Homo-oligomer: A and B are copies of this chain.
């Protein structure tokens, strides 16, 4: 039923928190629901996280960190501008695609929370830095602004993924190709 070791328990809490915060949002998610779905008692969560906000922030930070680390791994094994751009694009869009069923608010400023804003800032900083480094290696000037822009292009397609119920893998690949092409050569 419930996870037994310290880490397993934290993982279980994170997993449920991710799902519930993602689907319902911060305020509408109850600590008691998280506890119940994680198979532990309400009080137990407080052994690991001092408050609801801390749990939310910790979970979000971990998610952000993972996201960037995975990106770094993938970029490490690749050369070629086009390929690398595609990797960034695919990683970004796949994230939303995979989690579509229960993602709604992640990577977005929440209803609340100075803490999350800080986490989001750090995330953007790290994410941008990695993409910028990659761009720099590939000889692109104004790497940071370009990195942000590329991320922006990708992020806006999140709307399509989340709102369009018939959005398919093929659509995803099409968006990737489109984003990379636009980024490299402009709209003309």
Contacts and interface: CB of A to CB of B under 8 A. Distances in A.
Contact of A152 (B112, B153, B184): B153
Contact of A157 (B26, B135, B148, B175): B148
Nearest to A160: B148
A183 interface: yes
Interface stretch (A4-12, A35-43, A62-70, A101-109): A101-109
A42 B76 CA distance: 50
Contacts of A154: 152
Interface in A129-153: 135, 140, 142, 145-146, 148-153
Nearest to A112: B25
Contacts of A28: 111-112
Interface residues of A, number: 44
A178 B111 contact: no
Nearest to A110: B111
A7 to B, nearest CB: 23
B178 A142 contact: yes
Given A110-B25, A187-B140, A187-B183, A157 B163 contact: no
Nearest to A146: B187
A88 B25 CA distance: 31
Interface of A: 24-28, 104-105, 108-113, 117, 121, 124, 135, 140, 142, 145-146, 148-157, 159-160, 163, 175, 178-179, 182-188
Given A104-B117, A108-B108, 5 more contacts: A108-B109, A146-B182, A152-B152, A182-B186, A183-B186
